[in-house]
Amino acid sequence: MELYSPTLKLEFHCHTRFSKDSLNDLHYLIKMCRRRHIDRLVITDHNTIQGALLAREIDPDRVIVGEEIMTTRGELLAAYVTEELPAGLPPLEAIARLRAQGAFISVSHPFDILRSGHWETEDLLEIAPLVDAIETFNARCMRVVFNARAREFARQHGLLGTVGSDAHSLVEVGQATQRLPLFFDAPSLKDALQHAQPRAFLSGPWVHLSSRYAVWRKSLEVPPSSP
């Protein structure tokens, strides 16, 4: 008789209002995850873990602290981050810092040349032996070929694949998820990803308008005055 093996639905790539190009409220984001039966949410704001830490206080069982880090060559996507990394580090230094804190390391939308965070092939080849995974599907990619190249690169180099909605608005949450065995930390996540079953759909180009609106909206906000 086959025994039942519990699984989790994972959203690996998601932003909050703590990213410059998102307005996602933490409470509404978590409420959306509950509504869409997302068991684990990696919050990966740009170059900060502040929002992820606050969200984890709201729902500690669901939220995993992550960060999307802009290096001098491209963006990294990390989970189980305990110490925030600044933007602008060389890739090898950023990876070393993430390794020192036991984080799980993926690479954001590596071949999406329409985004500033994409990677040149020679730079990606240099870090490939040092990361855990490649983001093989990003729902915000505007061309199918970008994700296809990422999947092929992961296959050729024996790397695991993460998928993510890269949600900057609430309607995007859950567009790209993975169903995988139970995990509790970076090592067990790496093991679980070997058995992951993705359910991923492109969001469509219109979602990028929400990011532009968020940037514009925040540009109108008056910063608090100094005491």
Q: Which runs of E-coded beta strand occur in the chain?
A: 7-14, 40-43, 63-70, 75-79, 104-107, 133-138, 160-164, 176-181, 197-200
pLDDT at 181: 97
In a domain, 224, yes or no: no
pLDDT at 4: 59
In a domain, 91, yes or no: yes
Let me know the angle formed at the C-alpha of 188 by 174 and 190, rounded to the nearest 5 degrees. 70
Reply yes or no on whether the pLDDT at 2 is more than 70: no
List of residues 6+ apart from 77 with CB closer than 8 A: 12, 13, 44, 66, 68, 69, 105, 106, 107, 108, 135, 162, 164
In a domain, 220, yes or no: no
Helix, strand, or coil (residue 89) = coil
pLDDT tier at 221, thresholds 50, 70, 90: confident
In a domain, 222, yes or no: no
Q: What's the domain count of the chain?
A: 1
In a domain, 100, yes or no: yes
Let me know the angle formed at the C-alpha of 163 by 161 and 166, rounded to the nearest 5 degrees. 140
In a domain, 171, yes or no: yes
In a domain, 227, yes or no: no
pLDDT at 1: 42
In a domain, 28, yes or no: yes
Reply yes or no on whether the pLDDT at 10 is more than 90: yes
Reply yes or no on whether the pLDDT at 218 is more than 80: yes
pLDDT tier at 73, thresholds 50, 70, 90: very high
pLDDT at 5: 73
Reply yes or no on whether the pLDDT at 103 is more than 50: yes
What domain range is 12 assigned to? 7-215
Mean residue pLDDT across the chain: 95
Look up residue 64 and give its two tokens: 């995993």
Q: What phi, psi does 196 have (nearest 5°)?
A: -70, 145
The CATH number for 86's domain is: 3.20.20.140
Q: What is the pLDDT of residues 177-210, one digit of tens each?
A: 999 999 999 999 999 999 999 999 999 899 999 9
